[in-house]
Chain A
Amino acid sequence: MTTDAAAIGGMGHSVKRKEDARFLRGKGRYIDDIKLPGMLYMDIVRSPYAHANIKSIDASKALALPGVLAVITGKDLDAAGLAWMPTLMSDKQMVLPVDRVVYQAQEVAAVVATERYIAADGVALVEVDYEPLPPVIDPFKALEPDAPLVRPDREAQTNHIWHWESGDKARTDQLFNEAEVTVKEHIYLPRIHVSSIETCGCVASFDKVSGKLTVYMTTQAPHAIRTVYSLVTGIQEHKIRIVSPDIGGGFGGKVPVYPGYVIASVASIQTGLPVKWIEDRSENLQADSFARDYHITAELAAKNDGTMQALRVKTLADHGAFDAAANPSKFPAGLFSIITGSYRLDAAHVEVDGVYTNKPSGGVAYRCSFRVTEAVHTIERMVDTLAQKLQRDPAAVRMQNFIQPDAFPYKSATGWEYDSGNYPAALQKAMEKIDYAGLRREQAEKRARGELMGIGISTFTEIVGAGPSHTFDILGIKMFDSCEIRVHPTGSAIVRIGVQTQGQGHETTFAQIVAEELGLPVENITVEHGDTDTAPYGLGTYASRSTPTAGAATAVAARKIRDKAKKLAGHLLEVSPDDVEWVDYHFQVKGVPGRSVTMKDIAFAAYTNFPPDLEAGLEAVDYYDPPNLTFPFGAYICVVDIDRGTGMVKIRRFVAVDDCGNIINPMIVDGQIHGGLTMGMAPALFEAITYDENGNMQQSNFMDYLLPTAMETPVWETDKTTTPSPHHPFGAKGVGESATVGAPPAIANAVVDALSHLGVTHLDIPITPWKVYQILQEHGAAES
């Protein structure tokens, strides 16, 4: 008996997505699609000032408007002890301010009305008397002694939040003192915004009879939110249900608890009616989910022959007015110490100082929440800077310094244990695919003619799958993840997972894991997630952690079922379970292919014909605590042409060789990489959030904040190598972030390479046409 692997649809098959059926028909259920009987609408009054005292709030005109039922202010919340809430980083943030606003567009009051449009009218009628205060916008100035204080509520009367460091400072300094060659660059990674096409929102519904609060919420981490809600409000956790419905893109921006969720919940408890709150795009762009904002000074020490020896990095991190970054508790600078990248280094020392400014909370996420993008950009730029100084080819310098395939598991200079990798193979593959040597010849010819062409490389190492519980927690909750599987009598199954999906295709890929492990066809497996009343406890989906954690839990839970199934197989085949083996998706008597039973037969027996010493049923739960993180990697090569008349950078080719270990669904992985590359190109060339000296945010809509369209996005050329994770149950590593992390330095390196003969050694992203054109003009290289 052989089973058709394609019909099972397990590991490695490009199974078409189950979730598409509803999305293609307009039958998705996103947050604004939810409408409950008697539902009210909430809209938010926001501050026009970055820093101001609130002298008074007069809601009388708003309350006089027919349809307006309530105006909620900070004083109302303060009376209930809810004016402040904890952040994930041991700080606290205002839900609504009592007497002071600390960034532009901060929530000041909320209007609750019978209709959406009336709530908006009510917002315009709330009169707030502000006394403007001088804001602190530049994080360097925030550290000056006479700087205005962003957070006088804190005991420490300073804008400095924390200092963090990693590595061996003495050894690093010594290597720098003795170094034959050193390079140094100031690198700024600007504030950017995820801008998922769906904004944030919720529908809060409090049932006065049962005392139960249900909140439908655009969240990537429903269980963690339930626990935080319970701790903050004192409502018993079984009386709180958080439901994450279909989510229109997350990218980390839907991890935090935003004030709107809390205010809507309070409004529902007060009114006893469901309350809906949906952000508009300007609110979303101005107030939520910023990433990066790292001011980095990096130095690399090496020998004259190009051997890299040490890395020294100092960073000023602009966290805005509240330290509400989305990092594991013990990691205020995320996993920034992955900054030694794919290279052997004798020593490294990395420092980050977090600073408050009068901006919304920073450091949340942009398809990477744990500062890996900042780290990768730094090391990949520095390797190129070194190659440029030594007049060496950047590919050759990388090959010379890579951690070699036989060196894994590899302990990095900052203490991480890389699980597996083969960096030379990935770069070699990318170079062959793009014809690197041919491109260098073409570049030389073009340069001789005055044309500007550049080739950029990024050979990045990612760090995902948080995390081992001994090191990783969110507010004390360990970062394990979970799965629960029930096999029904007729051989179909339901799988519930602790993670959640925002487009990654979990309803398909997690079914594939179970299909592979149990030999049940993927079409007969349903995956559910996102409802805290039914899903097992988990920490949610972000930072490429779903497959490394909940994916592992799913495989382990399925293997528990298979262990029990083996006993049932022995019973059905009338042999000892020890004489039964799992071959080709079914059990057979060892060495007797003719005597076999399928999982479907076994499932039926589990409910109808089980031996007396075995419990009925066929189900299992697993809470998986990974022994280590996983370390996906890749080699990207980008070719750009620069228009000397406009400064416009055009990506002509981009080859991405990714290695995320064993792959569940190649079609979905390719899609993740395409999207990730596009979200890597976006900050490299287009996107940045900036503020004027008064703290006015300058990109509050999609006409000023430039998301790539299909016109700017090139045809991505993807390929892969496969280096399984040795500690993951099926050798997978995670992929969602990789391309967003790896792509920006490939593009920046390509542009610098195109301009290197003019003496350019570094350009901060986004590399806009204006920025390039100014350089061309300075060097007399612009075409008029």
Chain B
Amino acid sequence: MTQHVKLTINGRPYEADVPSRLLLVHFIREVAGLTGTHIGCDTTSCGACTVLVNGTPAKSCTLFAVQTDGANISTVEGLEQGGTLHPIQEGFYEEHGLQCGFCTPGMMMTSIAFLQENPDPTDDEIRHAISGNLCRCTGYMQIVKAVQYAARKMRDEQATPNTADSSAATATEAEVIR
């Protein structure tokens, strides 16, 4: 059985007839071709598949695409804007918040939603917020620092609007071609 699904991912519309049982993560990865969202456990435990559904973090391995018909989805591919990394991406880079990189997209999506609710968190609050996202490489310490880096940067940007820094060191790096 197929159903027609219409989604917006990172501001771009996607439309397809898909099997009713198609998981959202497979829609994102295989229909939309956005492979930055990963699959780690199939049981909502690890958070590698975390995306934002209408701004709220959701584990896309246990949602059907049809359940999110009409929704606005944000994935890691939408974070960089106009060649400038999102503060959370910059934070992970500067603070060595990633090693193998597999959990990183989900970890960043969770963190972004959390920082919108709590722009000035304690380390413990960050640890609680990311406790649904497993990382096997880093031991989380540098991830906590990365989220704090992003929090500082986002607060600064909030305090001084219209000064988007397009000369950030990381933004000039050549994007690796897949």
Contact = CB atoms under 8 A, between A and B. Distances in A.
Contacts of B103: 197, 248
B99 interface: yes
Contacts of A280: 42
A25 B36 contact: yes
Given A21-B176, A197-B136, A675-B136, A503 B41 contact: no
A586 interface: no
A281 interface: yes
A531 interface: no
A505 interface: yes
Nearest to B90: A24
Contact of B100 (A196, A282, A713): A196
A194 B130 CA distance: 21
A546 interface: no
B55 interface: no
Given A196-B136, A249-B100, A716-B139, A702 B178 contact: no
Contacts of A709: 130-134, 140
Contacts of B144: 710
Contacts of A250: 100
A502 B34 CA distance: 22
B35 interface: yes
B12 interface: no
A248 B104 CA distance: 10
Contacts of B43: 281, 701-703
Given A281-B40, A710-B143, A22 B176 contact: yes
Interface of B: 19, 21-22, 26, 29-30, 34-43, 45-46, 48, 75-77, 79-80, 85, 89, 92-94, 96, 98-105, 108, 123, 126-128, 130-144, 170, 173-176, 178
Given A26-B76, A715-B141, A198 B134 contact: no
Interface stretch (A29-37, A617-625, A760-768): A29-37
A671 B178 contact: no
Given A24-B108, A24-B170, A710-B128, 13 more contacts: A17-B93, A24-B85, A24-B93, A25-B175, A117-B21, A248-B102, A248-B103, A281-B42, A671-B137, A674-B138, A675-B137, A709-B130, A711-B128
9 contacts: A19-B101, A26-B76, A33-B178, A197-B100, A198-B102, A246-B100, A503-B99, A676-B139, A709-B131
Contacts of B45: 701-703
Contacts of B173: 21
A25 B35 CA distance: 10
B101 A23 contact: yes
Counting contact residues on chain A (CB < 8 A from B), the size range is: 35 or more
B36 A702 contact: no
A28 B35 CA distance: 8
Contacts of B104: 23-24
A711 B170 contact: no
A282 B36 CA distance: 22
Contacts of A678: 138-140
A707 interface: yes
A16 B176 CA distance: 16
A711 B129 CA distance: 9
A147 interface: no
Interface in A231-280: 246-251, 280
A87 interface: no
A708 B99 CA distance: 17
Interface in A559-573: none
A36 to B, nearest CB: 13
A117 B26 CA distance: 10
A30 B102 contact: yes
A768 B75 CA distance: 37
Interface of A: 16-17, 19-30, 32-33, 35, 116-117, 194-199, 246-251, 280-282, 502-505, 667-668, 670-671, 674-679, 701-703, 707, 709-711, 713, 715-716
B139 A674 contact: yes
Interface centre among A502, A668, A678 (most CB of B within 10 A): A678
A195 B21 CA distance: 27
A288 B36 CA distance: 25
Contact of B46 (A19, A30, A702): A702
Interface centre among A21, A28, A503 (most CB of B within 10 A): A28
B37 A27 contact: no
Nearest to B85: A24
A28 B136 CA distance: 17
Given A20-B98, A21-B173, A24-B89, A30 B38 contact: yes
Contacts of A27: 36, 175-176, 178
Contacts of B48: 197
Given A25-B36, A197-B103, A248-B38, A667 B96 contact: yes
Given A21-B176, A24-B92, A503-B99, A249 B136 contact: yes
Nearest to A504: B99
B21 A503 contact: no
A677 B35 CA distance: 31
A22 B36 CA distance: 10
Interface centre among B21, B38, B108 (most CB of A within 10 A): B38
B98 A23 contact: yes
Contacts of B126: 710
Contacts of A504: 99
A30 B104 CA distance: 13
A282 B93 CA distance: 32
Nearest to A247: B100
Contact of A707 (B42, B75, B99, B136): B136
Contacts of A25: 36, 76-77, 79-80, 89, 175
A26 B34 contact: yes
Contact of B98 (A24, A281, A707, A716): A24
A475 B169 CA distance: 47
A26 B80 CA distance: 10
A671 B170 contact: no
A26 B135 contact: no
Nearest 5 pairs between A and B by C-beta? A26-B36, A23-B101, A248-B102, A503-B100, A674-B139
Contacts of A282: 42
A25 B88 CA distance: 11
Given A27-B175, A502-B100, A668-B96, A249 B77 contact: no
A634 B170 CA distance: 35
A668 B133 CA distance: 22
Contacts of B46: 197, 281, 702, 707
Contacts of B37: 26
B77 A117 contact: no
A523 B13 CA distance: 38
Nearest to B95: A667
A492 to B, nearest CB: 13
Contacts of B80: 25
Contacts of A26: 34-37, 75-77, 105
Contact of B134 (A20, A502, A701, A707): A707
Nearest to A195: B136
A707 B47 CA distance: 13
A759 to B, nearest CB: 34
A711 B132 CA distance: 10
Contacts of A679: 136
B176 A716 contact: no
Nearest to A16: B93
A607 to B, nearest CB: 24
B80 to A, nearest CB: 6
